[in-house]
Structure 1
Amino acid sequence: MPFMNIKNLLWINLDAQMTIPKALEPWLIDNQSLTHKLKQEFEDFAVNVLSQTQGKAHKNEADLVDTRDDCIIREVELLGNQQVMIFARSIIPITNDTKDLRTIGGKPLGEILFNDGSIVRGEMQITHADNLWGRRSTFTIGQTKLLVSEFFLENLYA
């Protein structure tokens, strides 16, 4: 994320007692597809791919996807009515299980993950620093875990 260092954020399990802004709750703690929810909320939904590169994940990300090898690191903005609502960072290990995900271009990753019944979502963790709130969870495809982190910008819920 261009305006903050996400490498050192502290993440905790969602079930911990935490005061979450009321307007953010329906977004932050929803287990459904964020893409689907944004498409329902905004007439004009778009994905802006900021980068998709091969490299090393941050240690706290690599620990969750069980690899120290290079991964695909995909960073996107999710836009509603041409405003950035969410910044998302995905860590996709390079395996046969993920080969189709590595070529999705501007297609929403969430749409793929939630439309395949064989993909299993792991436990959700949340973080916040100042007014920025985020959540992340793993998704297991075959034998491979990938990580999706989503950061909710204030213009979505304030």
Structure 2
Amino acid sequence: MNSGQLIFDFSRDTDVSVWKVVNDVVMGGKSSGKFSINNEGNAVFYGNVSLENNGGFSSVRHQFLKKKINSSTKIKIRLKGDGNAYQLRIKKNQSDYYSYVATFQTNNNWEIIEVNLSEMQPKFRGKSLSLPNFSENSFEEIAFLIGNKKAQDFCLEIDKIYLE
């Protein structure tokens, strides 16, 4: 399927404890997201986004040792969404307060989403920052977030994530 550098390949044996769900409850919201492996060996990020108490997002993230980008120019994800828009987020350093963000639309079918690294924009709490787009040679965190300013159920099934 790919000739690039693997970031994560989910299987029935995947230890999902290395992925952390962060919902808007950290700021008083009531959204609920979960992350698990299904019978097919794919990761499933699912739940409900609530706008109560100024909430409105759910995310799941994975931190790791520095992943070199080398000559790669994009992140590719084989996934099956539910028709909702999601954000792909990366951080150069785990300790950075902001992420580089790209939004993608899903279509209820298995597909490969391609995100050009150079088009990922720096954002913090949904606001764009006056910094250049991603141009680093490595990163230490990858995340998926749903926060479309509406209350909604969601389900994103992920097979694999890689650089190309």
For the criterion TM > 0.5, the same-fold answer is: no
Structure with the higher fraction of residues in strand conformation = 2
Structure with the higher fraction of residues in helix conformation = 1
- Which category of TM-score, normalised to the shorter sequence, fits these structures? under 0.3
TM-score w.r.t. the length of structure 1 is 0.28
TM-score w.r.t. the length of structure 2 is 0.27
